[in-house]
Amino acid sequence: MAFGKLFAYQGNPRTTAILVVAKANGVELDLVESDGSKPTEEHLKANPLGKIPAFLGEDGYALSEAIAVAIYSTYTLSHTQTNHLQSLLRCVLSSPSSSPLLRNDDLDNSISYPWPNHLTSQNEKTTLLGKTKQDYASILRWMSFVNSEVLPPLGGWFRPLLGRDPYNKKAVEDSSKVALKAVGAIEKHLQTHVPCCERITLADIFAASIISRDFEFFFDQEVALAEPPPPSGSRKYLFGCASVYGETNASVIQGAFVVRGQEFKPVFDVAPDYESYEFTKLDPTKPEDKEFVENMWSWEKGVTVDGKEYPHAAGKVLK
């Protein structure tokens, strides 16, 4: 017997996370297909405005707002069933490998919460709501962020393209910029936090559900190529010193570098002004070349160029 009804429709981004958690918990949840345009009397009991998603429990308990329903469902998740979440998450996105939100970290099943268990027996353990109060606050933060900052502009981007709203080119372009900026904020956060709270939580499931719209309609190879990753640093490929010799309006720049390999260009062409310099390959067996390198790295002597002497002014170590 189902413990309640969920008024929503398959594919609704705010609904997917609730269905994922319910399935992971092995809870039977009746999905009553509704887009909110013609709510039934029963639907209005769950949400007086007839919006989706809305929950109506078998015991008459009514709950609306996506975040509240998702958290209510999460309280009942058995910690022995969290091991199945990663496979369930892979069903959220059509191309899961391209999602920055899906990680393969081990789940921590050590935490239990004191909230009452409404949906299953006495199992109150879940890792989806974090381990600390800060974790829980962060989970609410990111759920609220994707719900209010990502989905609305995303809808303003894809709904006109599907004919659900009147098409206005400027409005669609503006919505796409706002949506991409918001998703970029999540991507930046994930560069130093894996995932939103260092482990898979409800926030990651909820965010994946929302951002699945991006992957469904927009995020393809063309979008990825439009923002390629920055070039990797050359720290492991170069070491050397360069100095300015002379004075203002009468100076030269010289330096000596050790690079990996026999060609300089693959290392230096990441610098936008590398073409302004002339590069000469040195021979470590020649005394004059060894003396040149020692001078470039010691910063103790000046240089002579075209018969004119230039004293050492300032140097920089590059690595």
Q: Do 210 and 244 belong to one domain?
A: no
Domain that holds residue 36: 4-83
Q: Tokens 């910063």 — which residue?
A: 299
Number of domains within the chain: 3
Identify the pLDDT of residue 86. Answer: 47
CATH number, domain containing residue 167? 1.20.1050.10
- Do 261 and 292 share a domain, yes or no? yes
DSSP string, 127-138: STT-SSHHHHHH
Q: What is the pLDDT of residue 126?
A: 63
Q: Looking at the structure, do residues 15 and 50 belong to the same domain, yes or no?
A: yes
Please indicate, yes or no, whether residues 211 and 269 belong to a single structural domain of this protein. Answer: no
Same domain, 260 and 201: no
**DSSP per residue, 155-193:** HHHHTGGGTSS---HHHHHHHHHHHHHHHHHHHHHHTTS
The verdict on residue 229 lying in a domain is no
Q: Is residue 275 part of a domain?
A: yes
Residue written as token pair 């009147």: 166
| pLDDT for residue 136 | 87
Q: Tell me, yes or no, if the pTM score tops 0.75.
A: no
Tell whether 243 and 312 lie within a shared domain: yes
Residues 239 and 304 reside in one and the same domain = yes
> Which CATH number covers residue 268?
3.30.70.1010
Q: Is 28 within a domain?
A: yes
Q: Is residue 244 part of a domain?
A: yes
Same domain, 214 and 261: no
| CA distances, 23 to each of 8, 17, 31, 239 (Å) | 16, 10, 12, 55
pLDDT for residue 233: 59
Does residue 88 sit within a domain? no
CATH number at residue 16: 3.40.30.10
Give the number of other Cβ atoms within 10 Å of residue 17's Cβ: 29
> Where is the domain boundary, 66, 83, 100?
83
Q: Considering 218, 247, 275, which residue would you say is the last residue of a domain?
A: 218
Q: CA-CA-CA-CA torsion for 251, 256, 260, 266, nearest 10 degrees?
A: 20
Same domain, 201 and 262: no
Same-domain check for residues 8 and 38: yes
Q: What is the pLDDT of residue 268?
A: 86
d(CA 8, CA 46): 11
46 falls within a domain = yes
Does 115 reside within a domain? no
Residues 302, 252: one domain?
yes
The residue ranges of the chain whose pLDDT is under 70 are: 1, 75-126, 194-198, 221, 223-225, 227, 230-235
> In this structure, are 156 and 212 located in the same domain?
yes
Identify the domain boundary among 218, 249, 276: 218
